[in-house]
Amino acid sequence: MKRVVITGIGALTPIGNTAEEFWKSLIEGKSGAAPITKFDAQYFKTKFACELKGFDPLKFIEKSEARKYDMFTQYALIAVGEAVKNANISFGDLNPHRIGVIWGSADGGVITFEEQYSEYIANNRTPKFNPFFIPKRLVNIASGIISIKYGLKGINFTTTSACAASNTALIDAFNYIRWGKADMIITGGSEAPVNQSSIGGFNALKALSTNNDNYSCASRPFDVNRDGFVMGEGAGAIILEEYESAKKRNAPIIAEIVGGGMAADAYHLTGTHPDGDGAYNGIMLSLEDAGIKASEVGYVNAHATSTPMGDMSELKAIERVFGVNSGLNISATKSMTGHLLGAAGAIEAIVCINVVRNDIVPPTINTENVDGNFGNKFDLTLGKAVNKTVNYAISNTFGFGGHIATALFKKYED
């Protein structure tokens, strides 16, 4: 098996429009929640979300080009552009047939679909659709556009496993490289779900927080008073590269990916298994894949969306794997970013990469009263970041339908 390293990252998030800004805000414990500005939310049960701040796509993409792409594709291109720059890649010097793109998204071009259908109804059902309607709304289009932009002719596809989508993409990319099928793969995920249909639909499921009077603290994973997740948007991009390829071009290696576990809860349409069976299997498979013991892991970025059932089932799984009071640090960074659905795994993978790179664990914010007795069992890194040497870090992601994807990262050593 080939060794796989990370040579570049890019992030576009509710708490920072670059990977560096994102990391700084995480360490400072900033909340990205604010009143919704993308549409009039006065008649919705939830009136706030974690939107991007001060973001203008036309600073990065020509207007003529942007009009062809849904927001989720624009987000993807911007995050990938940063990752490519940080990885010091000159594609003209590389074999394009050995470089691929594997991207994740849950909803794809839902904004485009919503806008076009609304226009169709407003025009008395006169079928005057935008010629870019179909390509803009396709879930797979971001990976295709990325490959077109950089002339990449290798493996190219999109994973869609709901909120596990970008971790699934990351693990697939990891496997293709270590199997020798590619030298480099651009991976990650993007999502643009702050729109009427998504907010309204998740409200109908009673999945979103309705804490409109205290929105900055609404995302409170593990807290006894949590009442649902906060919607987020953005993208995370990660350059995975075969170790020898990275060394040959003197790439800036920042971390290593050493394991991935994918499983299924096989339990419920939207709910996680109450005992965390799927999460347990995903974590155990990632450890087995990496060939390490649970005791070697210093940090877990929990999926922890701030939903009543999901948070507790994940902690049960973590307890089964790691035991209690084990010296493990856990944090739920969705307390700051909100839940980016299919892009969540990508930005949380970037969190783990930075943890092993910088030996700092970001906090879980807003959690004041831990549900049950879990506060006595685990270090949930409440309130403030912690300086700690971390050699291995795990990122958990779970999706509607029972999809489980767990990625395991290692501190880079030459």
352 carries an active-site annotation: no
In tens, the pLDDT along 301-333 reads 999 999 988 999 999 999 999 999 899 999 999
- Let me know whether 305 and 360 are in one domain: yes
- Let me know whether 122 and 217 are in one domain: yes
Q: How does residue 125 score in pLDDT terms, banded at 50, 70 and 90?
A: confident
Look up residue 224 and give its two tokens. Answer: 């006894």
Residue 402 per-residue DSSP state: T
* Whether the Cβ atoms of residue 267 and residue 247 lie closer than 8 Å to each other: no
Q: How does residue 376 score in pLDDT terms, banded at 50, 70 and 90?
A: confident
pLDDT of residue 80: 98
In a domain, 200, yes or no: yes
Look up residue 178 and give its two tokens. Answer: 């270590």
Look up residue 396 and give its two tokens. Answer: 């958990």
Q: How does residue 370 score in pLDDT terms, banded at 50, 70 and 90?
A: very high
CA angle (271, 276, 282) in 5-degree steps = 105
Look up residue 374 and give its two tokens. Answer: 């879990």
* Whether the Cβ atoms of residue 105 and residue 72 lie closer than 8 Å to each other: yes
pLDDT of residue 340: 98
In tens, the pLDDT along 201-254 reads 999 999 999 999 999 999 999 999 999 999 999 999 999 999 999 999 999 999
In a domain, 254, yes or no: no
Q: Choose the final residue of a domain: 194, 219, 248.
A: 248
212/209 Cα distance (integer angstroms):
8
Which CATH number fits the domain that encloses residue 329?
Answer: 3.40.47.10
- Let me know whether 267 and 127 are in one domain: no
Mention every residue, 6+ apart, whose C-beta is less than 8 A from residue 244: 2, 3
Q: Answer yes or no: is pLDDT of 121 > 90.
A: no
- Let me know whether 143 and 264 are in one domain: no
Q: Answer yes or no: is pLDDT of 91 > 80.
A: yes
* Interval 293-308 mean pLDDT: 97
In a domain, 253, yes or no: no
* Interval 278-288 mean pLDDT: 97
Look up residue 337 and give its two tokens. Answer: 């970013």
* Whether the Cβ atoms of residue 231 and residue 199 lie closer than 8 Å to each other: yes
In tens, the pLDDT along 30-84 reads 999 999 999 999 999 999 999 999 999 999 999 988 999 999 999 999 999 999 9
Look up residue 171 and give its two tokens. Answer: 């693990």
Comparing 156 with 1, the larger pLDDT belongs to 156
404/95 Cα distance (integer angstroms):
33
- Dihedral in degrees, nearest 10, Cα atoms 251, 82, 403, 258: 10
139/374 Cα distance (integer angstroms):
38
Q: Answer yes or no: is pLDDT of 270 > 90.
A: no
Q: Answer yes or no: is pLDDT of 124 > 80.
A: no
Q: How does residue 126 score in pLDDT terms, banded at 50, 70 and 90?
A: confident
Q: Choose the final residue of a domain: 223, 248, 273.
A: 248
Q: Answer yes or no: is pLDDT of 266 > 80.
A: yes
Q: Which of 398, 302, 342, 334 is nearest to 76 (CA)?
A: 342
In a domain, 212, yes or no: yes
pLDDT of residue 354: 98
Supply the angle between the helices 110-122 and 196-204 in degrees, to the nearest 10: 100
What is the extent of the structural domain holding 188?
4-248
Phi, psi values for residue 149, rounded to 5°:
-60, -40
246/159 Cα distance (integer angstroms):
25
Q: Answer yes or no: is pLDDT of 364 > 90.
A: yes
In tens, the pLDDT along 4-20 reads 999 999 999 999 999 99
In tens, the pLDDT along 152-209 reads 999 999 999 999 999 999 999 999 999 999 999 999 999 999 999 999 999 999 999 9
332/324 Cα distance (integer angstroms):
18
Comparing 373 with 314, the larger pLDDT belongs to 314
Look up residue 302 and give its two tokens. Answer: 């929990």
Q: How many domains does the chain have?
A: 2
Of these residues, 50, 163, 217, 352, which one is catalytic? 163
Mention every residue, 6+ apart, whose C-beta is less than 8 A from residue 213: none
